[in-house]
Amino acid sequence: MKRNILIHPDPRLKKICSPVVDLTDELRQLADDMLETMYDAPGIGLAAPQIGMLDRLIVMDCVKEEGEAPRPLIMFNPEVVASSDETNVYEEGCLSIPEQFAEVTRPKIVDVAWIDRDGNAQRETFDGLWATCVQHEIDHLNGKLFIDYLKPMKRQMITRKMQKLKREQARE
């Protein structure tokens, strides 16, 4: 089932999410719904708080090549366990901040540990867009948005645009 994506500013997007301690069928369903919502948007990553659920859960799939097999990832309690000194700059966007993009600098390579949909511990090294995406999504679990990396003026400008967008949506 597709879920509604919250638009910034929203207090739920600023919360620290709670670790998943019991991997229930409900949480698995939530993860599946998040993937459906993400693909439909379309986007390459989605974090639980973006649909109003304050659990440490993210989903992503950064496969972009036409014809390449999709690689949906479901991560419970994802954690960056190591990151490179070398950095990378990507023009980031966010499904909670539609149509706004800005360059963000992050470590180029990260090792991430998480629990998968079956409850197994996983660990993998991510590079390039995958590394940027997983860091962006994990930030969401700590109440942090990509615009928090920008200069205050730029951040305020984007936030005002989003407030206007939400007012327009509310009128519809």
Under the criterion CB under 5 A, does residue 138 sit at the interface with Ni ion? no
Residue 94 is assigned to a ligand binding site: yes
Torsion of CA 34, 35, 36, 39, to 10 degrees: 120
Query: 87-94 and 121-127 as β-strands: parallel, antiparallel, unpaired?
Result: unpaired
Under the criterion CB under 5 A, does residue 112 sit at the interface with Ni ion? no
Under the criterion CB under 5 A, does residue 133 sit at the interface with Ni ion? no
Under the criterion CB under 5 A, does residue 134 sit at the interface with Ni ion? no
Instruction: Please spell the DSSP secondary structure of 79-115, one letter per residue.
Output: EEEEE-SSEEEEEEEETTEEEEEEEEEEESEEEEEEE
| Amino acid letter, residue 7 | I
- Closest residue to Ni ion, Cβ-based? 94
In whole angstroms, the minimum distance from the beta carbon of 163 to Ni ion comes to 18
Q: Locate the DSSP E strands across the chain.
A: 45-47, 57-60, 73-83, 87-94, 97-107, 109-115, 121-127
Residue 133 is assigned to a ligand binding site: no
Comparison of 51 and 115: residue with beta carbon closer to Ni ion: 51
Name the residue among 31, 25, 44 with its Cα closest to residue 3: 31
78-97 positions binding Ni ion, by CB under 5 A: 94
Report, as residue numbers or ranges, the catalytic residues: 137
Comparison of 23 and 166: residue with beta carbon closer to Ni ion: 166
Under the criterion CB under 5 A, does residue 104 sit at the interface with Ni ion? no
In whole angstroms, the minimum distance from the beta carbon of 93 to Ni ion comes to 8
Residue ranges in contact with Ni ion by CB under 5 A? 94
**What residue numbers does the annotated binding site for Fe cation cover?**
94, 136, 140
